[in-house]
Structure 1
């Protein structure tokens, strides 16, 4: 199941998008600003980020730049903006002009979430503690080091 982080300072938009995306079958996280969005992105596994551009404090461009400089730099970022012609799309995978149809957003999310290489690359590697021991690590390391 795809987890979408929505970042917008307008509560009405957050509520509307959250409800619609849950209805479409996505897990949804929300943030009321760029700082909170970055914190959630850093703490949780997020498949796709949807961010407003113009927000007080940290805006959507800064959020996208943070993601592109992180270890999960390939996470898709969708910008939503009332002034999309002012945006350079360098850090964004897609730009959606406000107002927009929910179907357009759904199509973008579906397209971006169906790129398996992104999802696999973004998944953090987890080591099964039952399989790990210092002895096996040393044996492996010594073999590679020869």
Structure 2
């Protein structure tokens, strides 16, 4: 059974304004904690099949590839390490960004859908940590989108 860590936050942006930022996959290091940069894999930079490598503190990296894309609404990224599948401790992992609402403001939902290698006990033990990370990504995204100021102290350059 998959577990989900989810957070929703109101944005002081119209849905179109939020989508113009969200669709730019190069911006994630500005709001995802621990990322030091990113680079696109050859091919699309947005839409189905777009893929990037994000660099993390300590020289670690992670690949993220778009497996679902809905213009104006959001997308789902599958997390993987090259062709080796999901990174430890995950058996499967994907991250979903989704815009909701209309008018002068909208909401964004961030969610991590996952299964861990250690089974239900590991999932129970790690659930609070994943909830915290997903909440932090959502709150950082809000602050970055609304202010234009990087929220990630680890981002290089």
- Give the structure with the higher percent helix: 1
Give the TM-score category using the shorter length. under 0.3
Q: Give the TM-score, by structure 1 length.
A: 0.27
Q: Which structure's CA Rg is the greater one?
A: 1
- Give the structure with the higher percent strand: 2
